[in-house]
Amino acid sequence: MFPALGLVKTPDYLSDLEAATLPCAALTAWAALVEDCPAKPGECVLIEGTGGVSIFALQIAHAMGLRTLITSSSDEKLERARALGADETINYKTNPQWSKNVRDLTDGRGVDHVIEVGGAGTLEQALRSIRIGGRIASIGVLSGIKTDLTLPLLFMQHAHIQGISVGSRDMQINMNRFFSHHQIRPVLDERTFSYPELPQSYQHMISRKHFGKIAISID
């Protein structure tokens, strides 16, 4: 038995496996773009990477009418991101100072928002990518948890950094309504794991070969 407040109805058009990806990755992206750091149609958002949170952020941002820039170390993944609505793509492996690319693509202005999933290794580039007064939604620590940040850069950018940690039940309800209206389907990685394969799923995530959300099927 679950209390009613612990449950949310899932969109009818999604499978159970698809719906299972919503409460964590999708809700985190939703909180970053709509609830905690609200973006407006016409604004520009930079999304780091092509994992679960990042691809959900791309789908949400595209449906909101935002201009989207996305980074990856794989040109193949960037092409897939374009197919999902990304306006501009940047390979951070061939462009390690990718904030310069962001500036070039925004006529020197910078983006309004950054979905920051990299952590210590990407935060400085994220700060150099935003416009004056821009917002960074700090979500992940894929490249480390400690950073030697040059504080004047934070001051000069008048940056707003918002920590994001999933979201509330009300946010989930609002997001499900938005997904249903726009018929957004979660992008699952081509490889789905069974519960006994859970250790392998972590290794697959660590390898960074996945695209979208890694899902575990419990049958």
The model's confidence at residue 21, banded by pLDDT at 50, 70 and 90, is very high
Residue 123 lies in a domain: yes
- The per-residue pLDDT for 151 is 81
Residue 184 lies in a domain: yes
**pTM of the prediction?**
0.94
Supply φ then ψ for residue 14, to 5 degrees: -100, 145
Residue of 120, 102, 115 whose CA lies nearest to 49? 115
Tally of structural domains, the chain: 1
Residue 200 lies in a domain: no
Residue 71 lies in a domain: yes
State the CATH number of the domain containing residue 126: 3.40.50.720
Residue 11 lies in a domain: no
The 10 Å CB-count burial string (b at 16+, else e) for 191-218 is eebeeeeeeebeebeeeeebbbbbbeee
Structural domain range at position 37: 23-189
Select the more confidently predicted residue: 199 or 4.
Answer: 199
Residue 170 lies in a domain: yes
Residue of 107, 152, 157 whose CA lies nearest to 128? 157
- The per-residue pLDDT for 132 is 96
**How many CB atoms within 10 Å of residue 120?**
15
